[in-house]
Chain A
Amino acid sequence: MSTQPLPAPAAPAPDAKGHQVLLRSRVEGLKGILFVLPALVVLAIFLIYPAYYTIRLAFYEGDFHFGFFHYLGIENFKQLLTNDKDFLDLSKFPPGGALINNLRWLIVYISLSLLIGLGLAVLAVRVRYERFVKTAIFVPMAIAAVAVGIIWLLVYSPDADVGVLNALLRGGGLHTQSWLGNPSLVNYALIFAYIWASVGFVMVVLSAAIKGLPADVLEAARVDGANEWQIFRRIMFPLLSLPISVVTIWLFINVIKVFDIIYVMTGGGPGTSSRVIAFTMYEETFHNGRPGYGAAVAVIMLVLIAPVMVLNVRRFRSERVVA
């Protein structure tokens, strides 16, 4: 919002009428500012200032009041990216650490959520009990993340009398698994629980978009002899690309900030094998009492999310959500 008044008329006409026009445009400009001011103030207090504070803190060691204590320069970042195996460990194969775990989340969580959500959306429209299916799949979305964690903690229990998954394995004559105790399974076990909780949202958004597709186009394709797969692949999918990208960004942000389910289910363990970026930030700041180091993790998180947000805003500006 510009504070400049609208340019005065080119020809100087300092009569009473001209004055009034000038005044009115000034008043209009001021009104605009006044209307956005409350939002700006709120943003400044709750977003801009804390962000500035965190970024500054990332260059300090920090004390227990989160004060700017002992300037370190980029030492925190250097330590995180080169010398902290819990955050990034490239020395073994496959590489490990919170950053790599987040990458795993990114790939598996986003692709599976989209695939399952889109599949359900496309199929649900075709059945008579659509409303029932959708409600059943959407319900987990309404459950608090902590409760989701507790539910899956029970599902994954190593005790086959408690854990339904191991009961199934035992019933099938297979060896029971410790889903959360095995470092090579734990991340996928967590990701799957989170997919369960978010696939309902993906389905609802995409199925609404499918219903908004122009019926005449689909009908024309059918008349021209396209089969259902061709209709999906060549017509529905391209038309759905914008809602899909919106959902993808939502999923992406979910992944980068995922914390609660990990805190409840594994506490980042066994050892540190299921930590992700947001969990590391919490662990370092509040558990290990290293606010500066934790802030550095937060800054890395911000750097990862920012480009996606910019991309998102640009897309919204250039296109309309519903075609």
Chain B
Amino acid sequence: MKRRRPFIALAVVLALVAAGLTATAISAKPAKRNANSIEVLSLWGGSEKDAFLKVTAAFTKATGINVQYTSARDFIPDIRTRLAAGNPPEIGILPRPGYIGTLAKQGALKPLSGLGLTNAYMKSNYSAGWLSLGSSGGKLYGVPAKANSKSVIWYKPQSFKKYHFKIPATWTQLLAITKKYKAKGLVPWSVGAGPSQSQWTLTDWFENIYARTAGPAKYQALFTGKLPFTDPSVAKAARTMTQIINNKYVLNGVQGVLGQSFVGGITDVFGTKPKAQLYFEGGFVGGIALQQVNTSLKPGKTIASFPWPTVTPSRGRPIVGAADFAAAFKDTPEVRQFLKYISTKAAGTIWVSTGAVNSPNKRVSGKAYPNVLARAEAHQLATAKTFLFDGSDLLPGAFGDTWGFALQDVIQHPSNINSILSDFQKKIKGQF
């Protein structure tokens, strides 16, 4: 009997190992979710997330399909790891057409035409411009879910009234107001472009200036890889940017900019203890300021926005804007229903009524916007002569972030602009 023991032990160990391996193999397979539930991943948190949850709540009520929302501010690594593990979310709502293109080329996304959203249907809801942004290689992948103008500057109407400032129409006038605020002992600007993921606000500064100095054609060429970042027009726009973002005019100087977050910057201007007068970022600032930063703000009195002034007057005022596109990683009946739903007028109407977003859907009525701030933005988007998509979001892969890092360098070392740009060009060359 004694002799048998080792073999029993061996058998036990082998069984354990086998069980362990099976367990690993099972856990490596994507976790199966309830048939009646989908996961939607996006980068929104706070008031932007709340607005979206209102839309999904209506969807669940109408269809009985639960929506599990996953928030990933730093969404690129999140999606990359989940794809590598074979376990992507059903749907991702992504702000970067450039990254949607990257994903589509990898074969990670399902074309909309195969999901029951025909091109004709999409065309009846969205303009051709939006649809081309959601496309890659001639196929449509993204449903334009929400849009925002990024060509607005936020100010305090009461303060403008007090000092008899007029809404600036040109960069020179904007600089003049900046100087006057400074002369009155006030800090003109706050810029939040610091830890840990706020460098994108600088890319928006640059884009507005670039569109207004170099013009739409060069803008498109630059952000689609047809014009190098070493082109003199790029350095010129970057230098113009530092006329405002410097130690003189921004709260706590350039290093304060790099130490402040995007929402922190809004708080500096519109919080209960304001320290600065002007803030630049997209239309979504209104929703965040009113709902997250300071609920006692009065739209039109203590907070309002004006359109970005011209910089080179002959170039006019092209609108720089951004949008988020819903794309499918999987093809299930629930996914089809969800994509169909968010492309409807009903979903768009609920969404815009939160005041957080604009709808790219042409069937959503202007009356659905809840306040003067949201209506002004919708009007600006609807009447834009030239609409340019956020350039950093058009860059491939994660280069939108790398470009933001380069601009963080630019505002610290304006005298090194040329070498910073040529370093960036070296990195991005051949990536389009």
Q: Are chains A and B native binding partners rather than an unrelated pairing?
A: yes
B194 touches A269 (CB 8 A): yes
Would you give the shortest CB distance from B276 to chain A, in whole angstroms? Answer: 11
Measured CB to CB, the closest approach of chain A to B213, in angstroms, equals: 24
Chain A interface category by residue count:
35 or more
Question: In the assembled complex, how far is the CB of residue B282 from the closest CB belonging to chain A, in whole angstroms?
Answer: 21
Stretch at the interface among B134-142, B195-203, B304-312: B195-203
Report if B287 contacts A (CB, 8 A).
no
Residue contact B195 to A269, C-beta cutoff 8 Å: yes
Task: Give the residues in chain B near A85, CB-CB below 8 Å.
Answer: 423
CB distance from B279 to the nearest CB of A (A): 14
Q: Are A178 and B83 in contact (CB under 8 A)?
A: no
Contact between B258 and A34, CB atoms less than 8 A apart: no
**Complex Cα gap A66–B82 (Å):** 12
Q: In the bound complex, do residue B195 and residue A289 qualify as a contact, i.e. CB atoms below 8 Å apart? A: no
Selecting from B31-39, B56-64, B117-125, B405-413, the interface stretch reads B405-413
**Which residues of chain A in 262-278 are interfacial with respect to chain B, using CB atoms and an 8 Å cutoff?**
263-267, 269-272
Task: Report chain A residues within 8 Å CB of B256.
Answer: 158, 178, 181
CA distance A23 to B2 in the complex (A): 11
The residue in B256, B268, B423 that gathers the most chain A C-beta atoms within 10 A of its C-beta is B256
Shortest Cβ gap from A38 to chain B (Å): 6
Closest CB-CB distance, B248 to chain A, in whole Å? Answer: 15
Which of B13, B21, B80, B268 has a CB less than 8 Å from the CB of A286?
B80
Rounded to whole Å, the gap between the CB of B209 and the closest CB of chain A is 20
Q: How many angstroms between the C-alpha atoms of A139 and B106 in the bound complex?
A: 47
Interface centre among B255, B260, B397 (most CB of A within 10 A): B255
Q: Which residues of B contact A183 (CB under 8 A)?
A: 412
Which secondary structure characterizes the binding site on chain A? loop
Q: Is B26 an interface residue (CB 8 A)?
A: no
Residue of B nearest to A270 (CB): B258
| A176 within 8 A of partner (CB) | yes
Let me know if B84 and A66 touch, CB within 8 A.
yes
Task: List chain B residues, Cβ under 8 A from A269.
Answer: 194-196, 199, 258, 405, 408
A179: CB under 8 A from chain B? Answer: yes
Q: Which residue of B is nearest A185, CB measured?
A: B255
CA distance A161 to B20 in the complex (A): 54
In chain B, what residue has the closest Cβ to A29?
Answer: B6
Smallest Cβ-Cβ distance to B401: which chain A residue: A287
The reply to whether the CB of A65 lies closer than 8 angstroms to some CB of chain B is yes
Classify chain B's interface size: 35 or more
Residue pair B397, A288 in contact (C-beta under 8 Å): yes
Contact present for B194 and A270 (CB under 8 Å):
yes
**Is residue A182 within 8 Å, beta carbon to beta carbon, of the partner chain?**
yes
Bound CA–CA A85/B424 (angstroms): 11
Check A147 for interface membership: any CB of B closer than 8 A.
Answer: no
**Contact status of A270 and B10, CB under 8 A, knowing A159-B264, A180-B258, A181-B260:** no
Complex Cα distance, B409 from A161, in Å, reads 27
**Among the listed B24, B84, B254, B412, which residue makes an inter-chain contact with A45, where contact means beta carbons less than 8 Å apart?**
B24
State which of A64, A178, A267, A270 has its C-beta within 8 Å of the C-beta of B106: A64
Contact A266 B195, beta carbon cutoff 8 Å? yes
Is A226 close to B, CB under 8 A? no
Chain B 386-415 interface mask (CB, 8 Å, partner A; 1/0): 000000000001100110011011001000
Q: Does B9 contact A (CB under 8 A)?
A: yes
A318 to chain B, nearest CB (A): 33
- Whole-angstrom CA separation of A272 from B20 in the bound complex: 42
Q: Is the CB of A178 within 8 A of B253?
A: yes
* Per-position binary interface string of chain B over residues 269-297, scored 1 when its CB falls under 8 Å from any chain A CB and 0 otherwise: 00001010000000000000000000000
A-B residue pairs in contact (CB < 8 Å), sample of 28: A31-B9, A37-B13, A38-B13, A38-B16, A64-B83, A158-B251, A178-B194, A178-B260, A180-B195, A180-B258, A181-B257, A181-B260, A263-B196, A265-B195, A265-B196, A267-B74, A270-B194, A270-B405, A270-B408, A270-B412, A271-B409, A282-B77, A286-B76, A286-B81, A287-B80, A288-B397, A288-B398, A289-B398
Interface residues of B (CB under 8 A from A): 3, 5-6, 9-10, 13, 16-17, 20-21, 24, 74, 76-77, 80-81, 83-84, 102, 106, 108, 194-197, 199, 251-260, 264, 267-268, 273, 275, 397-398, 401-402, 405-406, 408-409, 412, 423
Q: Which 7 A-B pairs have the closest CB atoms?
A: A181-B259, A181-B258, A267-B196, A178-B259, A286-B77, A178-B255, A270-B258
Known pairs A156-B259, A178-B194, A287-B401; list 13 more (Cβ under 8 Å). A38-B17, A45-B21, A64-B106, A159-B264, A178-B255, A180-B259, A181-B252, A183-B412, A267-B74, A271-B405, A288-B398, A288-B402, A289-B397
